[in-house]
Amino acid sequence: MTSGAAYTVVMPSEIGLLNWLQRYWGYSSFRPLQESIVGSLLKGHDTCVVMPTGGGKSLCYQLPALVSERTAVVISPLISLMQDQAVQLAQMGIPAAVLNSSQAASLQSQVMRQASEGEYRLLYLSPERLARADTTTWLRRVPIAFFAIDEAHCISEWGHEFRPEYRQLSSLRADFPDRPIAAFTASATRRVRHDILRQLQLRDPHKYIASFYRSNLRYLIKECEGREQPGLLLRALRNYSGSNVIVYAPTITKVEETVDYLGEQGISAVAYHGKMDADARRRNQESWTTDEVRVLVGTIAFGLGINKASVRAVIHLSLPKSIEQYYQEAGRAGRDGKPADCILLWQKRDAALLAYFIGEITDVAEKERAWQRYHAIRGFVDSNRCRHRQVCVHFGETPKWTACGSCDVCGCDSAWLVKPLGVELNIAPVTTSPPRGETGERPPAKDVDSELREYLREWRRAAARQQGVAAFVVMHDTSLDEVCRMLPKSVTGPRLRRTQDCDVWPADC
């Protein structure tokens, strides 16, 4: 059977989809918009989805691929992201594969043969691989259900992460005219969304845009004077002692200086940047994902595809290039739905440096886009308006509310951030959680035995090392908390009900 052959998908009933959801993901209900998106893809519609980080985008293309019993071709920019998803799917009993040039030739040939025979429900490719003529020829023999473009904002010159290789995806419509195309992104303004539709030539697409308001996140932004920043960073990290934190630094030098400074202050941290050799980056990322080290300091090279749900804070040590970049990076906090902080400690020199580099751009159109992004992020940090509302308005959403109660402008508690130097405080992060009906996020776990939890975290670290995967692939924190609460009496007894935020349930737990 070729990808061009006509086929009919029998649309499962609502109960039928829930059965698939429960059987493979263990979820008892869909998150907002998920069921409608799955339905659109199963009916063969082109689709455009804008859903914040942690909203459950991957399930929106994984489930219809499974139900259709054909192959969804997923285009993603990062090999590690593709590999992580393929590992998770395999553990769930869903056949998936990654095809990339780093694999041995024999393995590539095996994946291509098995894909042609329809053995995979999901096949992950990079945009560069898809652009090859031999890939297009081979894909015509694969029984394709649809194409899913992840990080679709990369196709737009107006996007904050424009990648020229993504432009080549415009050929999909001509090469596979009868296959649906679905675009997924977490951060796209109205202009970028329109560009995505035009570049991919989507036909009467079904459009789904989730709210950009994440009420479990607390935005705390402070302009630092002189040498104030290191002290504020130190107080912040002590405030999140025992929690997972990402610190974004603007340069490789700043990354290494920060790691050294924190080590001198008794806080263990690892570095991540583009000039480290691949093995060192992998070891450091593994140390962080398996909870051996709680703090990772990296450049913007770190984060794309990171699926760690339990990050309690993301701290920026410089002004980002755009609101989109900040929203995407800060959004890596609190993916488990529990309260988390997004802290931006910027200095005036950050703005001067951004302006300098914009001045060095020779392309007139690109320079204009860069200045627009610059003025938007400056307006964001300089304004005395609600941070959450500013984010929503930037992305084309107009909330009915004017104050969120969970940002520095709206008066949320941030005493550790503004205390006089020399005074030690220990202010815990905000512990309020949003109403379930507004965002689909879950309240924090209650009554979890801390000693038992740490014992299970040690077990998870060992299991992750043995299997060569990230800790969250073995068990998410939400599942770990549930084991601590329910205290199962045996391994062979009925499995615990998985929470909505758990992606994988280990068979030996």
State pLDDT tens for residues 396-422: 999 999 999 999 999 876 666 755 444
| Domain 217-439 in the same topology as domain 14-209 | yes
- Reduce the DSSP state of residue 3 to 3 states and report it: coil
Of all residues in the chain, the percent with pLDDT exceeding 90 is 54
Dist. CA 277–CA 361, nearest whole Å: 29
Residue 209 or 87, more confident: 209
Band of pLDDT at residue 12, cut at 50, 70 and 90: low
Rounded to the nearest 10 degrees, the angle between the axes of helix 477-486 and helix 450-467 is 130
pLDDT value of residue 231: 93
CA distance 301 to 289: 16
Q: Is the Cβ–Cβ distance between 68 and 42 less than 8 Å?
A: yes
**278-315: burial string, b at 16+ Cβ within 10 Å, e else:** eeebeebbbbbbbbebbbbbbbbebbbbbbbbbbbbbb
Q: What share of the chain is helix, strand, coil (3-state, %, to 5)?
A: 45, 15, 45
Greater pLDDT, 146 or 484: 146
Mean local confidence (pLDDT), 457-470: 71
Q: Which of 165-169, 200-204, 331-335 has the highest mean pLDDT?
A: 200-204
Q: Give the confidence band of 496 by pLDDT, cuts at 50, 70, 90.
A: very low
Identify which has the larger pLDDT, 170 or 13.
170
Mean pLDDT of 149-154: 92
Cα separation of 264 and 279, whole Å? 25
In the structure encoding, which two tokens stand for residue 70, read together?
């054909």
Predicted local confidence at residue 279, as pLDDT:
85
Q: Read off the tokens for 43.
A: 């009916």
With cut-offs at 50, 70 and 90, classify the pLDDT of residue 497.
Answer: very low
CATH superfamily to which 14-209 belongs: P-loop containing nucleotide triphosphate hydrolases (3.40.50.300)
| 488 pLDDT more than 60 | yes
> In this structure, is the dihedral angle defined by the CA atoms of residues 289, 292, 293 and 299, taken in order, positive or negative?
negative
Instruction: List the strands of the sheet with 96-98, edge to edge.
Output: 96-98, 122-125, 71-75, 144-149, 181-185, 47-50, 206-209
Q: Point out the least confidently predicted range of 30-39, 133-142, 308-317, 409-418.
A: 409-418
pLDDT in tens, 253-307: 999 999 999 999 999 999 998 888 878 888 898 889 888 999 999 998 776 556 6
The helix or strand, by DSSP H or E, that contains position 487, with its residue range, turns out to be: none
Sheet of strand 340-346, all strands in order from the earlier edge strand to the far edge: 217-223, 340-346, 311-316, 244-248, 295-298, 269-272
CB atoms within 10 A of CB 91: 17
Q: Does domain 217-439 bear CATH number 3.40.50.300?
A: yes
Query: Which among 237, 242, 201, 75 is positioned nearest to 146, based on CA atoms?
Result: 75
Kindly tell me the burial class for residue 445, based on how many C-beta atoms sit within 10 Å of its own C-beta (0-12, 13-18, 19 or more). Answer: middle
> Given this model, what pLDDT does residue 103 score?
83
Which residue in 162, 205, 186 sits closest to 47, CA to CA?
205
In the predicted model, is pLDDT for residue 445 greater than 50? no
Environment class of 158 (CB within 10 Å of its CB; exposed 0-12, middle 13-18, buried 19+): buried
Q: Could you give the CA distance from residue 106 to residue 428 in angstroms, rounded to a whole number?
A: 53
User: What is the chain's mean pLDDT, rounded?
Assistant: 83
Q: 338-369 pLDDT, tens per residue?
A: 999 999 999 999 999 999 999 999 999 999 99
The rounded distance, in Å, linking the Cα atoms of 213 and 392 is 6
* Burial letters 219-254, b for 16+ CB under 10 A, else e: bbbbbbeeeebbebbebbbebbeebbbbbbbbebeb
In the chain, where the domains are located: 14-209, 217-439, 445-509
